[in-house]
C-alpha cells in the first residue's frame, strides 16, 4: 500500500509477518530520497513497483539504522539503482556494510 501523506512524501507499506513496516519516499523537483530499503525482497516486491508508477529513481537512500527490516534490501536496491548515494549514521555503518558484523554484534 502506498499513500501520499503530504505533497511529494509517500508512505510505502509492506508486510513484516504479523506487523507491517514502512519506507518513505520524498520526491522533489531535483532529487528524491528513499528512507530505508526493508527486507531483502522489499525492493523487488514493493519499492520498485512504486518507483515505476511514480516514474522516479532514488537519488539518495537513507538507512535510518542497522536492523534487517531497514537495510536488508540495500543490495537489491543498489543493483537496481547503482547511481543512488546510500547514507547512514557512522555508528551504524559497520553493521550495514557487513552482514556478519550485524549478526554477530547487533543481534
User: pLDDT for 2-17, tens place per residue?
Assistant: 899 999 999 999 888 7
Cβ neighbourhood burial of 101 (10 Å; 0-12, 13-18, 19+): middle
Number of H helices, E strands in the chain: 6, 6
Question: Which tens digits make up the pLDDT trace of 33-72?
Answer: 999 999 999 999 999 999 999 999 999 999 999 888 899 9
pLDDT at residue 101, as a whole number: 80
What nine digits make up the cell of 102? 550485524
Per the structure block, which three cell numbers stand in for 10? Answer: 509517500
Q: What is the pLDDT of residue 71?
A: 92
The pLDDT assigned to 105 comes to 79
Task: Give the C-alpha separation, 1 to 22, whole Å.
Answer: 9
pLDDT above 80 for 106: no
Helices (H), the chain: 42, 48-54, 68-71, 74-80, 90-97, 99-105
Amino acid at each position: 500500500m502506498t499513500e501520499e501523506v503530504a505533497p511529494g512524501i509517500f508512505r510505502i507499506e509492506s508486510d513484516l509477518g504479523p506487523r507491517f513496516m514502512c519506507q518513505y519516499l520524498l520526491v522533489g523537483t531535483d532529487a528524491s530520497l528513499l528512507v530505508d530499503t526493508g527486507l531483502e525482497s522489499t525492493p523487488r516486491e514493493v519499492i520498485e513497483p512504486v518507483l515505476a508508477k511514480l516514474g522516479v529513481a532514488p537519488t539518495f537512500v537513507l538507512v535510518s539504522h542497522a536492523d534487517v527490516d531497514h537495510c536488508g534490501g540495500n543490495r537489491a536496491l543498489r543493483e537496481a539503482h547503482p547511481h543512488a548515494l546510500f547514507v547512514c549514521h557512522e555508528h551504524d555503518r559497520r553493521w550495514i556494510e557487513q552482514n556478519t558484523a550485524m549478526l554477530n554484534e547487533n543481534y
